[in-house]
Amino acid sequence: MWFVIAVLALGAMGGVSYVVGSRLLASSTGKQSATAQGDAVLFTAGKYLTNLRDNGGRRYISVDITLELSHARMARELEAKKALLEHTIISVLRDKTYAELEGEGGMLALARDLADRINRISETGRVERIFFTEFLIQ
């Protein structure tokens, strides 16, 4: 008698697990297709260290940049254009002075400049936002 009850209980637990697992799988599949249809994607652009345009090149900037892109296909495009992306970022950074980058306003202006320049080289999407995970000016 106990054996029959145990088998029925295990069968019921297995059935519940199957139903819950099926719904979770369907839910996550829906999220993946929504991401593929246009949700923003994060792309690690990398860490950059370069001199600023100040007198004598004594000042430098070190930044770690993550881009929020409008489409996953833009991430594939930027990966294929990695050398051009890095050149573009370094060019923008080297053209700045310490005074232009000071404070939160300077950081926001740099983010706008970078987004504008990167958007010029992209054919498949837009940079929505730029995150600096490291920002050091010396």
**Burial state string for 4-23 with b = 16 or more CB within 10 A and e = fewer than 16:** eeeeeeeeeeeeeeeeeeee
Q: List per-residue pLDDT tens for the chain, 138 residues long.
A: 666 676 566 566 655 555 445 554 444 444 333 344 456 799 999 999 999 998 777 899 999 999 999 989 999 999 999 999 999 999 999 999 999 999 899 999 999 999 999 999 999 999 999 999 999 999
HSE-up of 9 (CA within 13 Å, CB side)?
6
Architecture (CATH level 2) of domain 41-137: 2-Layer Sandwich (3.30)
Instruction: Count other C-beta atoms under 10 Å from residue 65's C-beta.
Output: 23
User: Cα separation of 138 and 122, whole Å?
Assistant: 31
Question: What is the residue extent of each domain of the chain?
Answer: 1-37, 41-137
**Which three-class secondary structure state does DSSP give residue 71?**
coil
Instruction: Supply the pTM of this predicted model.
Output: 0.70
